[in-house]
Amino acid sequence: MLVMPNEKEYPPFYKGYISKIDPNEDIIKVLQQQLSEMLEIFNNINEEQSQHRYAEGKWSIKELVGHMCDTERIMTFRVMHVARGDKNELPGFDEDTYVQNANFDNIPFLSLVKYYQSTREASISLIENLKETTSAAAWENTSIVNGNSISARAIAYIIAGHELHHRSILEERYLELL
């Protein structure tokens, strides 16, 4: 089982995401459970509802799902980069620019749900592979990402915590209003 990272392994900004994960749970099982739960939530959202924004200037549900996928893809590259011992610094990314340029609102919601599912399945596969092929010490490898030192295992936990963060927003700010 991958051990939860300590606070020295990631910038303070990510504490909110990582602290959402039960330290006694296996991160792969958490990611698998999240996949199942999110698909259930998405199956109750129709195309019209997927265009909903809880306030002017906020992302639609489609854009939120697209953002979750884009971020997860970036994070899985980062976890592989760090776990493999690559010390080249990685840049940050501007989530708003990604959403603006993705045109998620023009994609059928069902297609975005499939994109989410394939993204999460690929993340689980990568992390499972890294657990099998990477030494325990490699999970503690660090590299500089967006100007901050971060470990491979911290990034794995950030993936799960980021989803929980946006799931809460989806449930509290979007679905409650529908």
Other Cβ atoms less than 10 A from the Cβ of 7: the count is 12
pLDDT of the chain along its 178 residues, tens only?
Answer: 789 999 999 999 999 999 999 999 999 999 999 999 999 999 999 999 999 999 999 999 999 999 999 999 999 999 999 999 999 999 999 999 999 999 999 999 999 999 999 999 999 999 999 988 888 889 999 999 999 999 999 999 999 999 999 999 999 999 987 7
C-alpha separations of 88 from 27, 51, 81 in Å: 26, 39, 9
CA distance 125 to 130: 9
Q: State residue 1's pLDDT score.
A: 77
Q: State residue 177's pLDDT score.
A: 76
Helices (H), the chain: 15-18, 27-42, 61-83, 95-102, 109-133, 152-169
Q: State residue 136's pLDDT score.
A: 86
Length of the chain: 178
| Amino acid making up residue 98 | Y
- Top-level CATH class of 7-177? mainly alpha
DSSP 120-145: HHHHHHHHHHHHHHS-GGGGG-EEEE
**Matching residue, tokens 């901050």:** 148
Q: State residue 134's pLDDT score.
A: 84
Can you point out the beta strands (E) in the chain?
142-145, 148-151
Q: Say if pTM beats, i.e. exceeds, 0.75.
A: yes
Q: DSSP character for 58?
A: S
- Domains of the chain: which residue ranges? 7-177
CA distance 57 to 169: 15
CA distance 43 to 150: 35
